[in-house]
Amino acid sequence: MSSQLIDIPALKARRNVNQRKRAPKALRIPLIAGGATLAALGIIRRSPLGIAMAAGGGLLVYRGITAKGGWSSSLIYVRKAVSIDKPPEELYRFWHNFEELPRFMRHLRSVRSTGRGLQWVSAGPLGKSFSWDAEIVEDRENELISWRSLPGSQIENQGSVRFQSAPEGRGTEVRVELMYQPPAGKLGAAFAMLFGEEPEQQIREDMRRFKELMEAGEIATTDGQPHGRRSKITTMLKSASGYGRTDEQMGAQRVVS
Amino acid sequence: MKALCWYGKEDVRVETVPDPKILNPHDAIIEITRTAICGSDLHLYDGFIPTMEAGDILGHEFMGEVVDTGSEVKNLKRGDKVVVPFTIACGQCFFCKRGLWSACDNTNPNAWMMEKLYGYSGSGLFGYSHLMGGYAGGQAQYVRVPFADVGPLKIPDGVPDDKVLFLSDIFPTGYMAAENCEIKPGDVVAIWGCGPVGQFAIRSAKLLGAARVIAIDRIPERLQLAERGGAETLDYSRCDDVVEELKFRTGGRGPDACIDAVGLEAHAMTPSGIYDEIETRLFLETDRPMVLRQAIQACRKGGIVSIPGVYAGILNKLNFGAAFGKGLTFKMGQTHMHKYMKPLLQKIMDGAIDPSEVISHRVALRDAPRMYKVFRDKQDHCTKVVLDPKAA
Ligand SMILES: NC(=O)c1ccc[n+]([C@@H]2O[C@H](COP(=O)([O-])OP(=O)(O)OC[C@H]3O[C@@H](n4cnc5c(N)ncnc54)[C@H](O)[C@@H]3O)[C@@H](O)[C@H]2O)c1
Ligand SMILES: [Zn+2]
Ligand SMILES: [Zn+2]
């Protein structure tokens, strides 16, 4: 599916488009399987070496899962689709309430209407944040919304969301396309920290949260549930990943009332 | 509260942890009155399931009393007695609406991990690794139950816990395994594994009209229990060739349906079993599909192979050609719990079945670490362990 806004053939023709390198699928599965058994075996040993093996195994699983090329500061293009068991009107209406977008977009702190358009503020690592102004390019009721950052923005971007009714009461197919130019230099590094190695996954997670809110009325979470003592390694790995707001920080926003 | 936490292979401990609290509007907090150890928990205990973290609370078979409800839970109130299904489902998505409850789209916060491994993610599960959602489990004094207005089944007053506890997993699991066999009059069903799941598959196959059930295991007390449930038995440790034996007993045609109620940790001393042992130790294989191979080989042409036993990863040397050559149908997966709980409660109330007959041990929660080992090693005639979190 192509968009009026994002000209994919032209985009692909550009030489600096981020060629996303994936670990070949054939390699990824053994990586995951090997990681799982390595973790299992490491746990058998329960010695310092065993624990290291378990952690290494866990990392292998993780690497297998996320295997991809690194972050590049070239142009990023992402598209994702999700089916939601609600009519297009309802989904369009919720999305069109831009101030509400941070309810399911983990990396956004706020969206505000200004005289010029919309001001987006993202939640950055270490208290840093980015902001940019955008204008609505096209707005077709119950069908499509597209936007574009205004000249001079820290992060140049444009995107669209479309809502297409699926046949036989299968709800709505929602498709998001996003294109952006990550900033260079120090800003770029902070930006990469915020969005992680995988902008694609961030978008998919945002869309999953949108779907959960719309269908189930809340976003599934385990943040804040009890557990026994965690190992130092787990705690370290946890705090080293997952920028953006936690479910707990998103708090009451996670819910449709 | 007290809860059983996982710390590594063969290392589970009862610890004091914070009480759970309501996190979402469809949550409820349940004070647990009975909880059980499942064969699935043994895969965690043996370190077969990846993405476990030290400190994770285990347990997915539990029941108890509602002590608190979120703002959106209208059908439950304090004091209600409920059994909770081990799969968590939203009740609103494409899959829930089609009765595919364990495929719910909206309950796994870590769905992305599953998507990378399996293409798509199933529902969240209690106490069963971060891959399956990372939800704290119910081998504890209290548990948080998401979508409490969708899953938990209210139990009428006066019904003993032990009779209904297994509506949380193994009874529906055995039942769905048998239902998946599409049993017709005269059918012979062969069932590998006479653990709790196998026992309920045997009894359900009988309820659904199977003419004969042949149950396969090697543990004497489990084979006896199978016999009591109406099955003929086959001790595989005293049999050179299970497939040939089944052929012989079915007049050369083979069983109409085969149920693998063993899963990825099948035990065997046959060449194929030893092969799996070596491969899994060398990280070349994650699962040991020894029973699955036999079931495929034994099943009659055009028959059904139903797989409630859990598989998680990569299977080697699977005789898929035999499956194709005979035109077999495969049915498998986590149980669509929500579909079965109510009708099966009715069967219990009617006296058609008494699930408590599989219980061999009733102990306090603090004895759980020891009982994991006893259950895993089939010591002490152990067939099913029920834990009482309130016992001192
Ligand atoms: N699909 C689901 O939703 C679901 C739900 C619950 C349990 N399960 C799975 O069902 C399986 C059985 O669970 P359980 O609680 O009965 O476990 P269990 O470990 O108590 O029973 C397994 C039985 O299989 C027998 N066995 C081992 N190797 C065998 C072989 N080669 N041939 C025949 N029998 C063999 C063992 O002796 C044992 O009695 C497990 O894999 C469990 O994870 C699946
Ligand atoms: Zn279970
Ligand atoms: Zn659902």
- pLDDT, mean of residues B101-119: 94
Do residue A208 and residue A101 come from a single domain? yes
> What is the DSSP code (8-state) at residue B265?
B
Whole-model pTM?
Answer: 0.87
The per-residue pLDDT of chain A, averaged, comes to: 72
What is the percentage of chain B residues whose pLDDT exceeds 90?
89
Query: What pLDDT score does A251 carry?
Result: 67
Helical spans, DSSP H, in chain B: 39-45, 94-97, 111-118, 161-164, 170-179, 196-207, 220-228, 242-249, 271-281, 290-298, 320-325, 337-349, 368-376
Do residue A103 and residue A52 come from a single domain? no
Beta-carbon count within 10 A of A100 CB: 15
Residues with CB under 5 A from ligand 3 (ion): B 89-90, 93, 96, 104, 106
Q: Which residue range is the domain that position A148 belongs to?
A: 76-219
- pLDDT, mean of residues A58-75: 44
Query: What pLDDT score does B267 carry?
Result: 77
The per-residue pLDDT of chain B, averaged, comes to: 95
Domain tally for chain A?
2
Do residue A134 and residue A183 come from a single domain? yes
Q: Report the residue of chain B nearest A170, measured CA to CA.
A: B94
Report the separation in Å between the CA atom of B311 and the middle of ligand 1, taken as the mean of its atom positions.
11
Do residue A45 and residue A113 come from a single domain? no
Do residue A51 and residue A85 come from a single domain? no
Query: What pLDDT score does A59 carry?
Result: 38
**Tens of pLDDT, residues A235-247:** 666 655 544 567 7
**Tens of pLDDT, residues B182-192:** 999 999 999 99
- pLDDT, mean of residues B345-365: 97
Do residue A32 and residue A151 come from a single domain? no
Do residue A32 and residue A101 come from a single domain? no
Do residue A151 and residue A50 come from a single domain? no
First to last CA, chain A: 34
Do residue A45 and residue A101 come from a single domain? no
- pLDDT, mean of residues A83-87: 97
- pLDDT, mean of residues B270-291: 75
C-beta atoms of A225 and B47 within 8 A: no
Q: Give me the residue from B5, B26, B112 closest to A201, CB to CB.
A: B112
Residue closest by Cα to atom 7 of ligand 1? B40
- pLDDT, mean of residues B201-216: 98
pLDDT range class, residue A51, cuts 50, 70, 90: very low
Do residue A29 and residue A150 come from a single domain? no
C-beta atoms of B56 and A171 within 8 A: no
Q: Which residue has the tokens 């009591």?
A: B228
Residue B291 Cβ < 6 Å to ligand 1? yes
Q: Report the residue of chain B nearest A198, measured CA to CA.
A: B112
Do residue A50 and residue A99 come from a single domain? no
Do residue A27 and residue A145 come from a single domain? no
Give domain status of residue A129, yes or no. Answer: yes
d(CA B91, CA A175): 24
pLDDT range class, residue B383, cuts 50, 70, 90: very high
Please give the single-letter amino acid code of residue A6. I
Residue B85 Cβ < 6 Å to ligand 1? no
Give domain status of residue A249, yes or no. Answer: no
Residue closest by Cα to atom 15 of ligand 1? B39
C-beta atoms of A228 and B57 within 8 A: yes
Any idea where the domains of chain B sit in the sequence? 2-169+335-388, 173-332
Report the separation in Å between the CA atom of B352 and the middle of ligand 1, taken as the mean of its atom positions.
24
Residue B73 Cβ < 6 Å to ligand 1? no
Query: What pLDDT score does A10 carry?
Result: 43
Residue closest by Cα to atom 10 of ligand 1? B309
C-beta atoms of A228 and B97 within 8 A: no
Sign, CA torsion A110/A111/A114/A117: positive
Please give the structure tokens belonging to residue B353.
């079945």
- pLDDT, mean of residues A146-156: 87
ipTM at complex level: 0.92
For domain B173-332, the CATH architecture is 3-Layer(aba) Sandwich (3.40)
Residue B298 Cβ < 6 Å to ligand 1? no
For domain B2-169+335-388, the CATH architecture is Alpha-Beta Complex (3.90)
CATH of the domain at A83: 3.30.530.20
d(CA B125, CA B111): 12
Give the number of the ligand closest to the Cα of residue B44: 1
Give domain status of residue A9, yes or no. Answer: no
d(CA B132, CA A252): 24
Query: What pLDDT score does A237 carry?
Result: 60
Matching fold, domains B2-169+335-388 and B173-332: no
